[in-house]
Amino acid sequence: MTREPPLALLAEITHRCPLQCPYCSNPVELVRAGAELATADWQRLIDEAAALGILQIHFSGGEPMVRTDLAQLVGHARAAGLYTNLITSGVLLDATKMEALARAGLDHVQISIQDSDPAGSDLISAYPGALPKKRQAALLVGEAGLALTINAVVHRQNLDRVGDMIAFAEEVEAQRIEIAHVQYYGWALKNRDFLMPTLAQLDAATALVERERARLGGRLVIDYVIPDYYARKPKACMGGWGRRFLNVSPEGKVLPCHAAETITSLAFATYPERSLADIWADDPAFAAFRGTDWMPETCKSCDRREIDWGGCRCQALALTGEAGAIDPACERSPRHDELFDLARAASLAEPVVRAWRRMGGKS
C-alpha cells in the first residue's frame, strides 16, 4: 500500500558524549565508535530519506559534534533539500566549528542546558564548566544568523529554577525554549528516585510557565511538557508509532522512536541491509503499533485514539510489562493510580548522588 512519507529523520550519528547525564535517552547498551555507520553510509541514507519524502533531518546523539564528518553530513543533507537541525549539548561548539556548520548550510541549532546554576549543571552533566560553554555556543549560533532553541530538561533537582532557565534563553536571544520534564525510561527510569519532582514543584513550575508566556507575548516561544506520571491523558509519542518519524541509531537500526529497542520482542531492521523506503512501508516492527488496529478495546473505542495514538509503547512496557497495554498515563488505564503512587514515592525518596546510574563505557 502507498503510505504517507515520514516528516522527519532523527539521525543519531553517535552515542559518544562527554556529559553522561543520568536521564540520557541513549540506550543502556551503547553503540561503540567502531560500529557507527561510516560517512558514505550516512550520505546514502540521507539521499534515500529525501527520495522517500522526508523534509527534515535532526542530527543527534550522544553528542553529534564528536563526529569529525558532521559538517560534511550537514552539507550533504542541505544539498538533498532537507531542513537541517543540530541537537547538541554545545560544549564542543567553538567559532571554527560554527563557521564550518553554517557554511555547510545548517538551518537550526538546539542546545540543551542541564541547569541555570553552574554548580547544578556540573552535578548533572559531570562536565566541569559546561554552562559557560553552552552560553558561548548559543551566542555563536546567533552571530551566525541561525535559528536557536534552548532545551531545558527539568526534574526535581532543577525545577525550582525554571524562571532562571527562561531568562537564560532570553539572554542568548533564542527564539524558542523547550521545557521538557524527564520522561522515565532508559537511564531516567534507573534514576527515577533522584529525578522525579514533587507535585507541589510541578504545580509551581506550571504556573510560572503560564505567567512567563503572558509576559513574553510570543517573543520567546515556550514549549512545556509535563511528566507522564502526573498526566491524565497520554501524549502522541513521536506523533504516533511509525506515523511521522524515522529514527536511525548509530549502527543503522531503523526505529519508530529512540527508545523502541527497549521492546525486545520486536526485531528492528538495519540500514543498509534494507532500504529506508522498504522499512518504512513494510517492516513488521513499524506495523506492530501503527494506526489503531493493535489497540486494546478501551483505546480502540476512545475518541482520542487518532489524537494520542495510544500513547507511549515503551512506557507501557516499562510500567506494565506489556508493550501493547494501555499507557498508564491515561486515566482510563487500570494502572493509572499506580503511576501517580510511583511518582509520589519517587519524589519523596532520598536522592543519594552516589547511587546514580551514569552512562558508562565511553568510546
Bind-site residues: 17, 21, 24
Our CA angle for 44, 48, 51, nearest 5°, is 140
Q: Which residues are annotated as a binding site for [4Fe-4S] cluster?
A: 17, 21, 24
Taking a C-beta distance cutoff of 8 angstroms, is the pair 263, 248 a contact?
no
What gap in Å lies between CA 111 and CA 109, rounded to an integer? 6
Taking a C-beta distance cutoff of 8 angstroms, is the pair 74, 86 a contact?
yes
Sign of the four-CA dihedral 189, 190, 195, 199: positive
3 state DSSP class of 274: coil
- Determine the residue type at 23: Y
The b/e string for 223-234 (b: 16+ C-beta within 10 A; e otherwise) is ebebbbbbbeeb
350's grid cell: 532520598
List, as one string, the DSSP characters of 248-316.
Answer: E-TT-BEESSTTGGG-TTS---BTTTS-HHHHHHH-HHHHTTSSSTTS-HHHHT-TTTTTTTTS-HHHH
The backbone torsions φ and ψ at residue 70, rounded to the nearest 5 degrees and listed phi first, read -60, -50
- Determine the residue type at 53: G
